[in-house]
Amino acid sequence: MRVNKSRANIMRPSRRDMLKIAGASAAFSIPHIRPSQAAPTEINLLSWYGHGEPDLVGEFEAKHNVKFKSKYYAGGDNMLALIAQSPPGTYDLILSDAEYVQQLLTAGYIDQLDPADYPFDDIFDEFKQFPGHWKDKKLYAVIVRYGHLGVAYNTTKISREDASSYKVFWKPELKGKIGHFDWHLPNLGSISLLDGNAKPGPFDINKAQWDHLKETTRSLRPQVAGFFDLGGTFSSLKSEQVWATVGIGDWITGVLKRDGAPVDSVVPKEGGIQWTESYSIGKNSGKQDIAKKFIQYILSPAGQVRTAKLKAYPALLPTKGGWKALQAADPAEANRLGLIDSADNNPIKLLREGRIHYRRLPVQQSLEEWNEFWQEYKSA
């Protein structure tokens, strides 16, 4: 005689119970199996924060049935670490600062590009042969946006006139109110310009100039409130914990201004530094065609407008078509960024006047030497 179980015991399912549960699960999951034709192609992007967000890539995603999968980094060293830890072909598109493109190339992470694929005619002459994007006349990265670093300051505490010189950081009333973006390269480059190293460049200095630069930097230490990463730089300026920050520019203050914070950036009379971003295609990517199409899209007038107004941080444009399109789409922003021929802060004009210097790795000292001095400066 079989013993009937009067109540099903959920903790001890019988074989019949298991079959019922399995059948129900299968029935529920069938709607989630989609036919493979509709699946969008995934593009793996490695970039600074925000370049895979809908405000930049949404239009492209819809048109080409792709989906961006982004891995964000903060700083070129972070980027190199991420690539080094992944198998080749992990990333299809890499957005990189210019000085890191050579490192990507040396380590074998990026493919060669064909200049004929990209609208070089539309790019300003100054940027056509951007140093760092080419090697032995071969192209490895295409410039898409750039920006200026100078003096970032709180407009209610510091006048624009005062801010128009790096000397403002040493003002006695700003003691304990100066912040540093925690990266040696833009900080030491700015102070190098204050030291007068405009020719051949703030990053190409001899031993005597390097020793003097270290002395000047050390003299700033008593003014410093702290060393901040990306998030810390935003919050310290916004909360008025610091009133001026060294080593940053509109890419930080432009975002804070959108939220109404009384901050601004200015290229001081001693000169400013340009950061430059470019796209490369990852080696062994397998999606070179769609990656190429995306780079072409970003260089098209429509894409350029989107990248100038990127939610994460605004930027200047390297294409003439991009300037015209932004002037039409958002004249106020074009005016603010200076992307108008007549503007005082027209970046091409500043470049031609010799007031802007490209950020690059130190030439006559090793990167370690600069970094070690920065660590010594922090622990002073």
Partner 1 sequence: MASDARRRAAIFAVAWRAPLLIWQGSFFIGALGFLTVMSFWLVKNYRMEPAFVFQNWERILARPFFWDAFWRTLGLASLGTLVISVLAFPAAYTIGLVLSPRAQRLAIFLLVIPFFTSYLVRAYAWQIILADRGILNFLLSWLGIPAVSMLNTPAATLVGYATLTLPLVVVLQALSISSIDRRLIEAAYNLGCTRLRAISMAIVPLARSGLIIAAVFAFILCYGDFVAPYYLGGSLPPTLSILIVDTAKSGQQWPRSAVVAITMIGVLMAVSFVAMRLVYGRRR
Residues near partner 1, by CB under 8 A: 75, 77, 80-81, 84, 103, 106-107, 176, 182-183, 224-229, 231-232, 235, 239-241, 366-368, 371-372, 374-376, 378-379
| 347: phi then psi, degrees, rounded to nearest 5 | -60, -35
Task: State in angstroms the smallest separation of the CB of 59 from partner 1.
Answer: 34
Torsion, Cα of 88, 93, 96, 101 (10° steps):
50
- Quote the tokens at residue 10: 């959920």
> Tokens 């810390």 correspond to what residue?
232
Q: How far apart are CA 154 and CA 265, in angstroms?
A: 9
Helices then strands, each counted (H, E), the chain? 16, 12
| Least distance to partner 1, CB of residue 77, Å | 4
Closest contact distance (angstroms) between CB of 341 and partner 1 is 39
In the chain, beta strands by DSSP E: 41-48, 66-73, 93-97, 134-135, 138-139, 142-154, 178-181, 224-228, 244-249, 263-266, 272-281, 356-358
CB nearer to partner 1: give 86 or 288: 86
Write the secondary structure of 206-263 as one string of H (helix), E (strand) and C (coil). Answer: CHHHHHHHHHHHHHHHHHEEEEECHHHHHHHHHCCCCCEEEEEEHHHHHHHHHCCCCE
Handedness of CA 266, 331, 95, 251 (dihedral sign): positive
Q: Nearer Cβ to partner 1, position 55 or 229? A: 229
> Which lies closer to partner 1 via its Cβ, residue 175 or residue 352?
175
Q: Considering the complex, state which of residue 77 and residue 204 has its C-beta at the smaller distance from partner 1.
A: 77
Smallest gap from residue 208 Cβ to partner 1 (A) = 23
Q: How far is the CB of 367 from partner 1 (least distance, A)?
A: 4
CA-based nearest residue to 360, from 200, 136, 140:
200
Given the complex with partner 1, which of 173 and 344 has the nearer CB atom?
173
| Tokens 């040696």 belong to residue | 184
Comparison of 98 and 295: residue with beta carbon closer to partner 1: 98
Residue with Cβ nearer partner 1 (8 or 107): 107
Q: Is 286 helix (H, G, I), strand (E, B) or coil?
A: coil
Q: How far is the CB of 269 from partner 1 (least distance, A)?
A: 30
Dihedral through CA 104, CA 144, CA 98, CA 62, nearest 10?
A: -30
Nearest-angstrom CA–CA distance, 356 and 379: 31
Smallest separation, CB 132 to partner 1 (Å) = 15
Beta carbon of residue 212, minimum distance to partner 1 (angstroms, whole number): 21
Nearer to partner 1 by Cβ, of 8 and 81: the residue is: 81
- Which of 150, 152, 212 is CA-nearest to residue 178? 152
